[in-house]
């Protein structure tokens, strides 16, 4: 029972401190690229298919596009709900990192320290506050969930173990797909998986077998390879296959019609 309370205490501490630091900043409005994203999310409701068939800002990141589109259903031009979603993704990443480090290192203090460094590190502040930073937040959230639910390398298994492993595998692979469709750099996740499995094998005093690792992780390796090829293909072909959506003039006109002197602010970003 004490062990469970230690986990809960660590999670509560890291979560509470993060909320206390960042929530007051949710009163900030938009900045620079945020205007593009807000207008994009509102417009895309009229053409949902473009989320998956078009690039935005020259990148193919449909998961992030989808988040902005769905969010526009209730947020419209209000910044607060968008800041809350960013904070929620960041908080979720901190919790997943805590759980992963606890699994990996077996130390609550080490896990709590790592989680707090992620949640409160000044290098992450811009990503959380800036609405457009959601690309990194989404990729980190799904990547860490992939690692948390990653099934351990197994030998002989029972039916119960296979069922549990199968469920974890589905969640982990699904999270990997969402991560690589949030930001292309997530294709490097096999490196983190390799480190994870190597450290866990050392923990059990087992010799790490590279060929066995590749056989059991073939689904993750294949998914990452396919995603890398997809991103390279899209970037190489450009607007021939996935057209880029962005229009500064329409964005400027849209926000200029809102009350509050928005046009003067926007003129600094869209000269």
CA distances from 47 to 38, 66, 91, 119, 240 (A): 15, 12, 31, 36, 19
Question: What DSSP state is assigned to residue 246?
Answer: -
Whole-prediction pTM value?
0.82
| CA pair distance 61, 57, nearest whole angstrom | 10
Torsion angle (degrees, nearest 10) of CA 175, 177, 180, 181: -110
Q: Is the pLDDT of residue 170 over 80?
A: yes
Looking at residue 90, what is its pLDDT?
87
* Distance of alpha carbon 260 from alpha carbon 221, whole angstroms: 51
What's the Rg (C-alpha) of the chain? 21
Q: Which residue has the tokens 């206390």?
A: 20
Beta pairing partners, 56? 59, 245
DSSP secondary structure letter of residue 269: T
pLDDT reading at 179 higher than 80: yes
Task: List CB contacts of 234: < 8 A, sequence separation 6 or more.
Answer: 55, 60, 241, 242
- Per-residue pLDDT band for 129 (boundaries 50, 70, 90) equals confident
Pick from 75-79, 184-188, 204-208, 266-270: least confident: 266-270
pLDDT band at 72 (very low <50, low <70, confident <90, very high): confident
Q: Report how many helices (DSSP H) and strands (DSSP E) the chain contains, helices first.
A: 14, 2
Q: Residue 55 — φ and ψ, nearest 5°?
A: -90, 165
């Amino acid at each position: 029972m004490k062990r469970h309370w230690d986990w809960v205490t660590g999670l509560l501490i890291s979560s509470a401190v993060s909320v206390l630091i960042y929530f007051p900043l949710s009163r900030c409005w938009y900045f620079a690229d945020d205007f593009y994203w807000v207008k994009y999310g509102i417009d895309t409701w009229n053409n949902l298919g473009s989320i998956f068939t078009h690039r935005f800002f020259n990148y193919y990141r449909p998961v992030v596009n989808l988040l902005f589109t769905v969010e526009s259903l209730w947020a419209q031009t209000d910044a607060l709900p968008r800041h809350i979603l960013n904070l929620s993704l960041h908080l979720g990443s901190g919790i997943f990192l805590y759980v992963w480090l606890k699994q990996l290192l077996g130390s609550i203090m080490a896990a709590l320290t790592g989680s707090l460094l992620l949640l409160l590190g000044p290098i992450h502040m811009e990503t959380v506050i800036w609405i457009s930073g959601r690309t990194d937040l989404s990729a980190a959230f799904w990547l860490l969930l992939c690692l948390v639910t990653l099934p351990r390398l197994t030998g002989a298994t029972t039916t119960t173990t296979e069922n549990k492993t199968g469920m974890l595998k589905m969640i982990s692979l699904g999270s990997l797909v969402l991560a690589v469709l949030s930001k292309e750099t997530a294709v490097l996740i096999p490196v983190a998986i390799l480190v994870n499995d190597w450290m866990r094998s050392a923990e059990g005093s087992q010799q790490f077998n590279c060929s066995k690792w590749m056989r059991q992780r073939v689904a993750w390796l294949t998914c990452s390879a396919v995603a890398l090829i997809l991103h390279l293909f899209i970037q190489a072909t450009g607007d021939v296959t996935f057209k880029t959506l962005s229009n500064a003039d329409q964005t400027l006109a849209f926000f200029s019609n809102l009350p509050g002197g928005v046009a003067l602010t926007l003129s600094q970003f869209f000269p």
